[in-house]
Amino acid sequence: MKYLLAIAFAVLTVVLIAAGSAHQSSTAPASTPEGAVQSMFNNVQTHNWKAAYSYVAAASNVDAGSFQRDLQGRYSSLKTYSQLETINTRVLHENDNEALVRTELKYSTAVGAFYETRDLKIIRDDAAWKVLWQGEKEASVPPQVIPVNYLRWDIIYRGAGDDWGAQNVENPHVRILSMNPIENVGGIIILGEIENEDTVPAFVSVSATLVNKSGQDVAQESSFDKTSHVLLPKEISPYRIDFPKMRLADLKSVRMKPDSMLVPAAADPVIAVLHQRVEKNDKGRTVLRGELLNESGQTVNIPHVLATFYDASGKIIWVSDGYVDHALLPQTPQTFAVDLRDDLAAQVHSYRVTVNQYSLTRGE
């Protein structure tokens, strides 16, 4: 009896491990256009690229490697660190031989979810439905030498053996240019801009403290990812600080505090933001679109776009941001879009776009 129980548990363990490691992949032929899309992306979800590729029609003229890179991302972009979370499909058009399926994909990443909508053409290939995959055009940068001789700032701090009166390097002088508290969806949002008015680079952050009617501090928060933290000399960044579940009517004042620290930094890369315009996307939402152009010679892996919107009087009325899921190759334009609240679209008189960048090849 003692051995029987031990054997039973051993068998159960093996079965559970096998069940846990088994992929939920399927390469069974799809009987419907929607089924083909679902099966393909289900395999993408489990990173079973071979099975996913089996749903791609031969007429697509895309090899398995390119197909995998299309879905997995390239050049250490945000997409390479993402996980496909949900797949929603809807047939837009269908006949006996082909169909058009709108596919809405939601990826989860460390910086929040990002969404992708693809209208996929599905064709009947023998007896099964298969996806006619439109491969991404892989941008290739022609061989060239791009001279980069921008500044780089390094810092030597005071040493332990220095006289106590010896100066340390001064922290950069930064200034809050504007601050506008607004109420939005049951919370308070502090919007504004901060400038590095010094001649050296600065790591900046802005903190806000809400003070209630009786003069007590009720909440404190600092800008996190809706700002550029490293500012070069005379660079201006928007900031946005969110306080959920707070009301302006309950407050007496808001205390703002900019902080700065001298950090080593490089003046490159320069990222141009081209053809910015506010328009409606295919879902009818208001977005600010444009193109990013990396003017340096190195790949920018994860671009982060910050948009500041002003009303006719020049007051900041909204700050929004968005990560681009593609890397910025040198000298290669890349489109972006950031959301703008529909209710504010009519008030927007002008806007300003700045770009943060995260690159694996750079230390800062």
Partner 1 sequence: MRKVSFLALIIATLPVLVQAADLRVPLSSAAGQPMTVGITGTGDGVLYLIGPAHIIKRSVRLDRETSVVIKGEELRTSGRWIAVLRSGDSSQTQVFWVTPAKPENLSFLARPSRVPVDRRGVISGMAFVFDAYQNFVLQPAPVAFSLSVGGSSASQTVTSRNGVAWVSSSSARKAGPAQFVATLGETSVRRVVQQVASDPCNLRIHVVQQGKSGVVVETDPVRDCTGNPVPDGTIVTFTQTDSAGRSTVDARIRKGIARAELPTAGDAQIAVAAGVVLGNELHVGGRK
Residue ranges in contact with partner 1 by CB under 8 A = 149-151, 153, 163-170, 177, 195, 197-201, 232-236, 267-268, 270-277, 290, 295, 351-354
Output 94 or 197, the one with its CB closest to partner 1: 197
Q: What is the dihedral of CA 361, 107, 356, 180, to 10 degrees?
A: -160
Shortest spacing between CB 295 and partner 1, in angstroms = 8
Minimum CB–partner distance for residue 61 and partner 1 (Å): 31
Q: How far is the CB of 155 from partner 1 (least distance, A)?
A: 12
Minimum CB distance to partner 1, residue 141 (Å)? 17
Helix (H, G, I), strand (E, B) or coil at 304: strand
CA 85 – CA 169 distance, rounded (Å): 48
Closer to partner 1 by CB, 182 or 273: give it: 273
Sequence-distant (≥ 6) Cβ neighbours of residue 274 within 8 angstroms: 290, 291, 292, 293, 333
Asked if 192 contacts 257 with a C-beta cutoff of 8 angstroms, the reply is no
Distance CA 364, CA 351 (A): 28
**36 or 271: whose CB is closer to partner 1?**
271
Preceding amide of 238 cis, omega within 30:
no
Nearest distance from residue 292's CB to partner 1, in Å?
A: 11
- Compare residues 95 and 167 and give the one whose CB is closer to partner 1: 167
Q: Which is nearer to partner 1, 20 or 147 (CB)?
A: 147
Report d(CA 37, CA 323) in Å as an integer.
26
Beta pairing partners, 292: 273, 334
